[in-house]
Each structure stands twice: as structure tokens, then as C-alpha cells.
Chain A
Amino acid sequence: MKFYLYCVTDAEPNLTEVVGLEGRAVEVVNNGSLFVVASPFEGDVVAVTRENVLQHEAIVRKIFSTATVLPFRFGTLVTEPGLHSYLSSREAALLERLSQVRDCIEMSVKIIWQNSDKFCEIEPESQVSIPELDEIGAGTAFLMFKRQELIGNERLENEARALDDWLRCGLKDVVKREQVTIEPRQRLVVSSSYLVEQARLPDYRRELAKLQAERTTLHFLSSGPWPPYTFANIDLEFGAHFGVS
């Protein structure tokens, strides 16, 4: 038999009125100091439907309301022996990670470039003068266009990094950890997740509001509080799976 996994915690969770994916039962699998909230699952695949995703989130959030949790990623199916093996071999790392996120919530900030033509803009001083084609060869023209594109990319990267630095400096006193993704060529240029102590949430909100007031030309998408999805991973597994650290 397999289990569909919702989250792991270090205190026996209260499962009163908790219903699993597609109406399945929800139970606790105990191994040492760890308790996993899971549903017995027949089959090999979990359908990615709106209902299932929201139900997964609702169950994690319900457990999170009374306990410290590490949420499993949606779609995690594991055999019972595999689950016990995982918990036994990773107990110390999971307990350490649970201690890191205890009494904390996750907050997210996404920053979106406002202008869709942002990627076409070139500062006047960076403009490369490209002569008419009959004055130069096609190959030369191509290289000059390429150079202009690279200058534009570099400028976008610098702007994105400056944005990240500005956000980090503004929030560094009110967050415990952060994970930032910068994508200068995307409209969603900065995507940040912050681990915030629950007691400091008002401070976080105040500082973020100040930052938003400073840059009225940027779109901010701010959400939370979330269970610590972004900070749940044990580095070893995350790096092995995605090739990043």
C-alpha cells in the first residue's frame, strides 16, 4: 500500500474533521519523533486538479494552525516501507528543519515589471549606432544587433539585482530566512519568499508597506501567511532532485 503525504510534524497532530484528497481518510504515520499526515492511496498517480491542489493546501494549513509542519510537495506518493525508511534515515535533518521553522510563517513577494516594453528599452548612451545594410555586411549588422541586445540584457540584469538588493535591505531586520529568484528577462522579475517569526508579522507588513510606498511604479504581489513550503526542503533532497542548491 502507498501513502499520499501532506506534511510532517514533530507533535501528534489533531485530525478532527480532516478529510483527504478525493474524500480519502487521513491518518498519522508515526516513526520515532516524527508524525506524518497521510492518506492511504491505491494507485500510482495523483490527478493535478484544482480541487486536489486546494485540498492538499487546506489540509496542510489545518495542521499548521496547531503545529509546526514541513509540507510535502503536492503529488508525493510513497510506499509504507519507503516512508519509514525515509523518516528513519532523515529524522535528525527533519527535526532540525522543523526547529528552524518553528513559530514562523512564510510570506511571499513577487515584483512585476510594470512596462511590457521594458525589454526593448535601451538607454540613449548605450545605443549602438547601426549603419544601413548597404554600408556594412549582413554579418556585421547581425553582430551589432547582437551587441545591442547584450547591452540591454546587462542593463536588465543590473536593474533586477538592484531591485533585489533594495528589497533585501528593506526587510533584513524583520525576516529570518529568505529565498529569492531573479529573472531579469521575465516580467515577474523578483520572486521572494520570507520566513518570518509570527510575532514579527506586523513589523514585516509595516516594512513592506514602506518599500511599496517608495517604488510606486512597481507592481507588488504580496501573499501570506503560508505554511513554510519554501523552507521545508532538506537541502540534500532538493539539490539532488533539481540540480540546484
Chain B
Amino acid sequence: MNSTFDQVLIGSDVEFEEAELSLLETLDHVLNRGLVIAGEITISVADVDLIFVGLNVLVSSVETANEVIGARGARSVSSAERRERSIDR
């Protein structure tokens, strides 16, 4: 795993191994983000369950994958408040 974690604080009610969290963060970045050419994404979901079992508590990657292929997950990305800010310094 190439990604690095500065710090991971896990409480008694959140039980994830650091390796799982590292994978989770990678999935979040690679599947949820990045440059999009509208209409050109083609994803097979044949193995999605293998990746996401146990990890979808924290991120919405499954939902994003579902949206990309046209399926509808339990919650839309747009249901969350999302904004980008540019900070002038």
C-alpha cells in the first residue's frame, strides 16, 4: 500500500485495522475523485462486494460506483452538503 497515514485514532466503537483504513482511503480517492470526462466512465461492478464488505461504513465509494453505472444506492451524493473553498493567503 503506497498511501500513508499521518495518524489514525480509533476508539472502542470503531474497529478497523490500519491496513483496512489505508485501503478505504485509497478507494475513496481513486473511485470517488479524480478528473472525469463526462459520459466516458465505464465500470464493471462484478467484484465490488469483494472490495467493500465491511468498509462501506465510512465512505460512499459503493454508492458512487452504483451511481456511475446508473444504479441507485441508498443515499445520493448530493444529499450531503459539499463545497469547495479557495483560501486566499
Q: Which residues of A come within 8 Å of B, CB atoms?
A: 5, 7-8, 44-50, 53-54, 56-58, 61, 70-78, 82, 86, 106-108, 110, 112, 114-116, 168, 172-173, 175-183, 186-188, 193, 205, 208-209, 212, 219-226, 229-230, 232-234, 237-238, 240-244
Contacts and interface: CB of A to CB of B under 8 A. Distances in A.
Contacts of A183: 79-81
A69 to B, nearest CB: 9
Given A107-B6, A223-B4, 10 more contacts: A70-B35, A73-B33, A73-B35, A75-B41, A179-B85, A209-B7, A212-B7, A221-B25, A242-B78, A243-B78
Contacts of A224: 3-4, 6
A221 B21 contact: yes
The 6 closest A-B pairs by CB, nearest first: A73-B34, A229-B33, A45-B44, A75-B43, A179-B84, A232-B35
Contacts of B23: 50
A219 B34 contact: no
Contact of A76 (B4, B14, B37, B77): B37
Given A110-B58, A177-B86, A222-B7, A53 B1 contact: no
Contacts of B5: 221-223
A54 B30 CA distance: 8
B17 interface: no
Contact of B46 (A48, A77, A179, A241): A48
Q: How big is chain B's contact interface, by range? A: 35 or more
B71 interface: no
B9 A220 contact: yes
Contacts of A178: 84-85, 87
Given A219-B14, A225-B4, A229-B30, A244 B89 contact: no
Interface in B16-62: 21-23, 25-48, 50-51, 57-59
Contact of A73 (B1, B11, B36, B85): B36
A244 to B, nearest CB: 5
A237 B37 contact: yes
Contact of B58 (A8, A112, A179, A234): A112
